[in-house]
């Protein structure tokens, strides 16, 4: 965008998480001195001559951004500068950004932010917010060091057509850019800043007013209650079925004194000679199990730290940094789990197993990420990750994660294979004709519904925080939902596994992985629905980016639930 630039100032340094999320902080041309108030101070003036093609292109880009309601995000002292305005039922909403401008349609309807001022009434016209009134709130520290701390920064975007850009007076008509305007367009950017003492807000709780006005906190409690009810219901079901049927079955087996009764076995007892037959594609299953363990532990630890408040929104990029570092360090459990399962499946090719564990899933994620980055580079986006960071991520993966996976696999292969309580028969037994709900596909599709029901409200907020730039700070809720999800996945899988073992189908390994893993497919369907119903994304590149990043999330979620 062609706004005022800061001359010769260095960019603030950023951590890994910010770079990965594309949060690039630029220095600002607006200069403040503490307690020195400014009124209508000019920053710079931009002139566009629509007869020149490069000027016309810049102006058109500006118009397009106003049409799509692009936002400025400003930071003062690590606090977002917020724009607070009244919404219905007397509440105030604080938005951590403010729009570039707004548009009045050809039939005179104000769009987005144009409703705030009745002077915006020209049809088919753009109004640019080229003046800001900034209010900075501080509180004087009573004890210890003498000084003041900033507790809030708020602004009001205004639009003025400055007649004398050299010494502006900030009054008069708004700065309008007619859609059909020709000739010269002059936009002067100005600001006013005032300082107010605020005795009530403590420095430690200065984020509260932003978080309070974030919408839908009350829905959260409702959704948690909802999920807990589902979990209690499921747990009750599982406990009932497990206790009743298993108890009944075991009691029945214990009653059989005479040997001739014991000949007529039924249900899951019949498949004891085949239950530990190694699954088809055992290599792939063991690799998935290894990677899934890695992601499960990573998610648990990250959310645990986030609950304790280490990864708050004030600590920019900390969440992503923490997740990436943990993921790299957790190569050992991945290698260990994959090796143990592969050995118990009777696998011999241990080198292939280790290599696949350390390269298959991370490789898919990295390839996807790299392609997305190429698209961002091609579009000239600021969210593109610099080459140095890509090299750094590769170094983390090859120099730390891979050796740790090898160490884990070494210990996994050294231990004896998991002992099975029953011998496997030489000849595989025939599987009888299955009823509809014990066939593989219907069972797997049913299994994914319940875990998805627990998380889908949280999913809405997480997708909002990724794509609509709302802050996500409800890690307590998320941790609770995470625990609920783990329980639900396990219980739904146990239940369905029991049903099809009773139907004498002993291929349970892949089915149990895919039953809860199918939740990821529902997640994908939900993400597609979210794309069409909530986001107004235009353009091929943006669409490819959305689905590219969504596929990474779906893969990680699939491994984790499975």
Per the structure, the count of domains in the chain is 2
Q: Can you give the length of the chain in residues?
A: 562
Does the model's pTM come out above 0.85? yes
Q: Same structural domain for residues 287 and 198?
A: no
The answer to whether position 195 is within a domain reads yes
Query: Maximum CA pair distance of the chain?
Result: 107
Q: Same structural domain for residues 100 and 188?
A: yes
Q: Same structural domain for residues 403 and 346?
A: yes
Q: Same structural domain for residues 188 and 273?
A: no
The answer to whether position 428 is within a domain reads no
User: Are 269 and 250 in contact, with CB atoms under 8 Å apart?
Assistant: no
Number of continuous H segments (helices) and E segments (strands) in the chain: 17, 13
Pick the range with the lowest mean pLDDT from 285-289, 403-407, 476-480: 476-480
> Cα–Cα distance between 500 and 518 in angstroms, integer?
17
185: phi > 0 → left, psi -120 to 50 → alpha, else beta; which?
beta
Dig out the tokens for 324 from the structure. 């990436």
The answer to whether position 420 is within a domain reads no
Dig out the tokens for 260 from the structure. 């001739």
Q: Same structural domain for residues 205 and 314?
A: no
pLDDT tens digits for range 254-282: 776 555 555 556 677 788 888 899 999 99
Q: Same structural domain for residues 35 and 183?
A: yes
Q: Is 364 exposed, middle or buried (0-12, 13-18, 19+ CB in 10 A)?
A: middle
User: Are 299 and 561 in contact, with CB atoms under 8 Å apart?
Assistant: no
Q: Is 245 exposed, middle or buried (0-12, 13-18, 19+ CB in 10 A)?
A: middle
Helix axes 540-561, 509-517, angle to 10 degrees: 130
Domain residues for the domain of 49 are 31-212
pLDDT at residue 140, rounded to an integer: 87
The answer to whether position 467 is within a domain reads yes
* Mean pLDDT (the chain, rounded): 88
User: Are 357 and 287 in contact, with CB atoms under 8 Å apart?
Assistant: yes
pLDDT tens digits for range 103-114: 999 998 888 888
User: What number is the average pLDDT over the span 34-61?
Assistant: 92
The answer to whether position 63 is within a domain reads yes
Q: Same structural domain for residues 280 and 173?
A: no
> Cα–Cα distance between 73 and 77 in angstroms, integer?
13
The answer to whether position 35 is within a domain reads yes
- pLDDT of 242 strictly over 80: no
Task: State the DSSP code for 166.
Answer: S
The answer to whether position 312 is within a domain reads yes
User: Are 458 and 222 in contact, with CB atoms under 8 Å apart?
Assistant: no
- CA distances (Å), 414 to each of 330, 350, 409, 418, in order? 19, 11, 8, 12
The answer to whether position 17 is within a domain reads no
> Cα–Cα distance between 282 and 293 in angstroms, integer?
16
- CA distances (Å), 278 to each of 88, 285, 517, in order? 62, 11, 20
How far is residue 14 CA from its own chain's centroid?
Answer: 19
- CA distances (Å), 109 to each of 100, 122, 126, 174, 444, in order? 18, 10, 12, 17, 50
pLDDT tens digits for range 129-180: 999 999 999 988 877 667 888 999 999 999 999 888 888 888 888 999 988 8
Give residue 286's pLDDT band: very low, low, confident or very high (50, 70, 90).
Answer: very high
Q: Same structural domain for residues 345 and 468?
A: yes
b/e sequence 149-165, b meaning 16+ C-beta within 10 Å: ebbbbbbbbbbbbbeeb
Q: Same structural domain for residues 340 and 404?
A: yes
Q: Same structural domain for residues 315 and 453?
A: yes
Q: Same structural domain for residues 53 and 195?
A: yes
Q: Same structural domain for residues 196 and 232?
A: no
């Amino acid at each position: 965008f062609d706004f005022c630039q800061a001359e010769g100032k260095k960019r603030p340094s950023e951590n890994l998480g910010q770079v990965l999320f594309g949060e690039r902080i630029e220095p600002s041309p607006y200069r403040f001195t503490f307690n020195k108030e400014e009124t209508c101070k000019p920053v710079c003036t931009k002139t566009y001559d629509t007869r020149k093609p490069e000027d016309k292109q810049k102006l058109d880009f500006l118009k397009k951004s106003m049409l799509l309601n692009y936002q400025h995000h400003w930071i003062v002292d690590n606090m977002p500068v917020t724009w607070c305005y009244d919404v219905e039922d007397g509440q105030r909403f604080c938005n951590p950004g403010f729009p570039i401008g707004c548009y009045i349609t050809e039939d005179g309807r104000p769009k987005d932010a144009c409703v705030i001022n009745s002077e915006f009434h020209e049809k088919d016209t753009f109004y640019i917010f080229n003046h800001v009134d900034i209010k900075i709130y501080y509180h004087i520290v009573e004890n210890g060091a003498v000084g003041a701390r900033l507790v809030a920064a708020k602004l009001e975007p205004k639009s003025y057509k400055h007649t004398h850009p050299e010494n502006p007076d900030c009054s008069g008509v708004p700065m309008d850019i007619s859609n059909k305007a020709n000739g010269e367009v002059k936009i002067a950017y100005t600001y006013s800043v005032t300082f107010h003492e605020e005795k009530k807000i403590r420095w430690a709780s200065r984020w509260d007013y932003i978080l309070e006005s974030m919408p839908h906190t009350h829905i959260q409690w409702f959704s948690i209650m909802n999920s807990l009810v589902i979990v209690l219901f499921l747990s009750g079901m599982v406990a009932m079925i497990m206790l009743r049927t298993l108890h009944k079955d075991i009691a029945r087996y214990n009653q059989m004194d005479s040997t001739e009764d014991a000949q007529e076995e039924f249900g899951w007892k019949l498949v004891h000679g085949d239950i530990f037959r190694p699954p088809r594609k055992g290599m792939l299953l063991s690799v998935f199990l290894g990677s899934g363990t890695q992601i499960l532990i990573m998610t648990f630890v990250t959310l645990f730290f986030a609950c304790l408040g280490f990864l708050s929104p004030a600590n920019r990029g900390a969440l992503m940094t923490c997740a990436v570092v943990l993921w790299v360090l957790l190569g050992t459990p991945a290698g260990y789990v994959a090796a143990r399962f592969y050995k118990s499946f009777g696998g011999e090719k241990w080198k292939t197993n280790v290599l696949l564990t350390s390269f298959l899933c991370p490789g898919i994620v990295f390839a996807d990420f790299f392609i997305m980055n190429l698209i961002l580079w091609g579009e000239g986006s600021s969210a593109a990750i610099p080459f140095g960071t890509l090299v750094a991520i590769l170094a983390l993966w090859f120099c730390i994660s891979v050796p740790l996976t090898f160490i884990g696999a070494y210990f996994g292969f050294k231990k004896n294979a998991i002992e099975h309580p029953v011998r496997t028969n030489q000849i595989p037994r025939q599987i009888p004709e299955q009823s509809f709900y014990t066939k593989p596909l219907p069972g797997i599709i049913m299994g994914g519904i319940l875990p998805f029901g627990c998380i889908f409200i949280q999913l809405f907020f997480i997708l909002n925080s990724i794509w609509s730039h709302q802050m996500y700070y409800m890690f307590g809720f998320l941790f609770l939902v995470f625990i609920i999800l783990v329980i639900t996945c396990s219980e739904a899988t146990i239940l369905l596994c029991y049903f099809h073992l009773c139907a004498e189908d002993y291929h349970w390994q892949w089915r149990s992985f895919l039953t809860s893993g199918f939740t990821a497919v529902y997640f994908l369907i939900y993400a597609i629905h979210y794309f069409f119903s909530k986001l107004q994304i235009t353009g091929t590149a943006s669409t490819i980016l959305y689905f590219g990043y969504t596929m990474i999330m779906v893969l990680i979620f699939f491994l984790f639930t499975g």
